Amino acid sequence: MIKFGVIGTNWITKMFIEAAYKTGEYELTKIYSRTEARGEAFLNTLAVDDVDIVTTLSDLYTNIDVVYIASPNAFHFEQSKVAIESGVHVIVEKPTTSNPTEFSEIERVLAQHPEVRYFEAARHIHQPNFKLIQQTMGELTQLQGATLVYQKYSSRYDAYLAGEEPNVLTRTYSGGALYDLGVYPIYAAIALFGAPRAVQYLPTLLTNGADGKGTANLFYDDFNVTVLFGKSANSYLPSEIYGLKETLSISNIAELETVTYYDGDGQQDNIGQVIDDNPMIHEAQDFADVINDPVGNHVRYSQWFQLAKQVNQTLFDLRSSANIVFPADQKEY
């Protein structure tokens, strides 16, 4: 049984805990919170027993195998680094780090602890429907790019409009649309098409300098990919991948509820599988497979790590093209 701890007392942490238990591979033993009261309140929402509430990383990283990190983006780097140095595997929510400099430092520390595995929790690329999309793309007559969409009004946007500074919508915590919802379609684009040769980001900026929504253009040799995402408005557009005459239509590039193939005559075939109630089950199982058998799953792990590195660089390049600077970019490591 894999003993794990969590950082973050929010809905996505609860979802991962439930997914982890459904695999039958994990046992939650510790919850990290800045206050015991908040940790206890979160624990009371879970159907688990014998869990310790801790308020320091040193206590968290003792006697666990892996940590799941779902704190504000700006904290991912330091919390991950300390875990690796403690010999603890890391599952960190998107994005892994604020910039490539931090990611390079993570690589350096991992090289000193080769027994540790470091995963980015990009849940959608582990789902069966995403693998089906990858397979079907190979059958397209001629790949001609894509339009990927993930735009959903954030509950925290109301707080921003009321004059507050929510973590997910401020550069202080490496937030904004690109580094939140935008990670999903960017991840999908790079997993499906590879790293782009050039990028451009056209954001709609908030008054605090963070991006509320935007359009990213990814340029490849033979086609372009347009990515629309945001937290300040809702979009109901599907995502599409274009062949010569064929088209793959995905209801939501992050959730992958439906996948429809249109042939050259416009005839449609709903090829997607029914998705699980908890979309994190497949990534939790994949990560457990690697932790339990790192040698047998080395190729898969290496592919995920290189993909995470490419996504991290692309996010930074997009942000740089729009002159969006995070405080984390000014730090020296």
Average pLDDT score, the chain = 97
CA distance 286 to 290: 7
Position 333 scores a pLDDT of 72
pLDDT tens-digit series, residues 131-190: 999 999 988 989 999 999 999 999 899 999 999 999 999 999 999 999 999 999 999 999
Is the domain spanning 2-121+280-330 CATH 3.40.50.720? The answer is yes
- Identify the band that residue 49 occupies on the pLDDT scale cut at 50, 70 and 90: confident
Domain ranges of the chain: 2-121+280-330, 125-270
Inter-residue contact 202 to 186 (CB < 8 Å):
no
pLDDT tens-digit series, residues 85-134: 999 999 999 999 999 999 999 999 999 999 999 999 999 999 999 999 99
CATH superfamily to which 125-270 belongs: Dihydrodipicolinate Reductase; domain 2 (3.30.360.10)
**Closest to 61 in 3D by CA, of 116, 1, 121, 123:** 116
Region 203-221: mean pLDDT is: 98
Q: Which residues face 32 on adjacent strands? A: 7, 54
State the residue for tokens 């963070």: 210
Position 319 scores a pLDDT of 98
First to last CA, the chain: 35
CA distance 158 to 174: 19
pLDDT tens-digit series, residues 221-261: 999 999 999 999 999 999 999 999 999 999 999 999 999 99
**Closest to 3 in 3D by CA, of 32, 31, 27, 30:** 27
Position 199 scores a pLDDT of 98
HSE of 94 in the Cβ direction (CA atoms, 13 Å)? 27
Position 309 scores a pLDDT of 98
